[in-house]
């Protein structure tokens, strides 16, 4: 009863093995997905920081160009200011376009702003910076209109330059805070994803070790049960390689042939079976197609004494392709005959 229950448990464990392997593969896929997510997050944060750097440089160049334009009235300075202002204005237009998608972007945006503090702070700083950028655009339009009617007086030049510098002074802390907010948010997300990745890796490692240990235990348990049944069986049993050499044999077969077990192991089938019952193919090798058929065979024991044996053979997969073994059951039937 104990052996039957053990065998049943082993069978059930082997039946559950595909599910465990599938779960292991799923955990591996999850770990890979998390790794890709970490890389994508890092790439996204890097892209935002690089874009913020372009935004800041464009803003500073526009300030310098407008400062010169207020003093000299050179159209080239105005053209440069408008050209570099296209960068932050393009970012603003892209954000507005995203806000106008057919999907319920307002609800998604509200949710992001409510639940993601770093994202909310970055967007708020972005909006503050947009207000100052729009003021620079308006100031450029205003100076262009004033200079169209003639040169500016020194007081107006100074007033425009002071306002340009004031806008630049208001933008600099916003730019620094925006960049810092993005970096802090990216670092926070990176740490969270790394922590999650470590948790998944540890869970994967623990589960993999458990599956391996459980499978090895069941395999060893099954092998132990087989070995016990093999050696304690009253029926002769043996494993042969494709050349007919005894790889393993039990005591029952040794008693049946009246040959010491130590001598039987390592011996060859042709040494204990009559040639008439040991067919060979055209190359002189054993004809396993015929030998794998069940039937009665005549085998030779000690001192050449013949034994009739009911022979049953089946293939057993080996470690190497094409090098499988043959499992043989031999039951003595000499008395019956």
- Residues paired with 300 in a beta bridge: 306
Which token pair is 243? Answer: 């050349």
Strand, coil or helix: what is 325?
strand
- Residues paired with 325 in a beta bridge: 316
Which token pair is 180? Answer: 């810092």
Look-up: residue for tokens 């049943």?
8
CB 130 within 8 A of CB 88: yes
Name the helix (H) or strand (E) containing 299. strand 295-300
List of residues 6+ apart from 58 with CB closer than 8 A? 84, 85, 86, 87, 88
Can you tell me the distance from the alpha carbon of 165 to that of 65, in angstroms, rounded to the nearest whole number? 11
Can you tell me the distance from the alpha carbon of 292 to that of 326, in angstroms, rounded to the nearest whole number? 8
Kindly list the distances between the CA atom of residue 220 and the CA atoms of 7, 215, 217, 225, 230, in Å, as whole numbers in the listed order: 12, 8, 5, 8, 15
Which token pair is 315? Answer: 């293939």
- Residues paired with 299 in a beta bridge: 273, 307
CB 6 within 8 A of CB 220: no
> How many Cβ atoms are within 10 Å of 85's Cβ, its own excluded?
21
- Of 255, 294, 288, nearest to 269 by C-alpha is 288
pTM over 0.75: no
Kindly list the distances between the CA atom of residue 88 and the CA atoms of 6, 82, 332, in Å, as whole numbers in the listed order: 73, 11, 96
Which token pair is 212? Answer: 């391996």
Amino acid 107: pLDDT: 45
> Digits of tens for pLDDT over the chain (337 positions)?
444 444 545 555 556 667 777 777 777 777 777 777 777 766 666 666 666 666 677 777 888 888 888 888 888 888 888 888 777 776 666 666 556 656 445 544 444 444 445 566 777 777 788 888 888 888 888 888 888 888 888 898 899 889 889 988 888 888 788 777 777 777 777 787 778 778 877 887 888 888 778 777 777 777 777 777 777 788 889 989 888 899 889 899 888 888 888 888 888 888 888 888 888 887 888 888 888 888 898 988 777 788 899 989 988 876 655 567 888 998 888 888 7
Amino acid 64: pLDDT: 84
> How many Cβ atoms are within 10 Å of 227's Cβ, its own excluded?
12
């Amino acid at each position: 009863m104990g052996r039957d229950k053990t065998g049943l448990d082993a069978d059930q464990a082997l039946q559950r093995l595909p599910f465990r392997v599938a779960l292991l593969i799923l955990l591996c896929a999850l770990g890979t997905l998390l790794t890709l997510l970490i890389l994508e997050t890092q790439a996204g944060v890097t892209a935002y920081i690089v874009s913020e750097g372009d935004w800041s440089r464009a803003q500073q160049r526009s300030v310098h160009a407008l400062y010169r334009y207020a003093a000299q009235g050179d159209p080239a300075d105005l053209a440069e200011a408008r050209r570099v202002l296209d960068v932050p204005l393009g970012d603003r237009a892209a954000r507005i376009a995203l806000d106008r998608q057919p999907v319920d972007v307002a609800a998604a945006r509200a949710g992001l702003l409510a639940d993601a503090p770093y994202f909310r702070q970055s967007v708020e700083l972005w909006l503050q910076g947009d207000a100052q950028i729009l003021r620079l655009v308006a100031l450029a339009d205003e100076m262009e209109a004033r200079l169209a009617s003639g040169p500016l007086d020194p007081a107006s030049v100074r007033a425009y330059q002071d306002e340009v510098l004031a806008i630049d002074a208001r933008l600099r802390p916003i730019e620094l805070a925006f960049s810092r907010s993005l970096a802090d948010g990216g670092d926070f997300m990176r740490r969270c994803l790394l922590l999650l990745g470590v948790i998944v890796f540890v869970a994967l490692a623990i589960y993999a070790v458990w599956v391996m240990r459980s499978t090895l235990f069941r395999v060893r348990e099954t092998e132990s049960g087989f070995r016990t049944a093999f050696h304690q069986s009253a029926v002769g049993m043996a494993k042969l390689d494709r050349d007919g050499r005894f790889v393993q044999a039990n005591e029952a077969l040794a008693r049946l042939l009246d040959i010491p077990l130590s001598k039987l192991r390592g011996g060859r089938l042709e040494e204990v079976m009559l040639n008439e019952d040991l067919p060979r193919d055209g190359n002189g090798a054993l004809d396993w197609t015929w030998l794998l058929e069940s039937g009665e065979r005549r085998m030779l024991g000690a001192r050449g004494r013949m034994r009739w044996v009911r022979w049953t053979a089946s293939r057993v997969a080996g470690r190497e392709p094409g090098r499988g073994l043959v499992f043989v059951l031999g039951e003595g039937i000499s008395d019956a005959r």
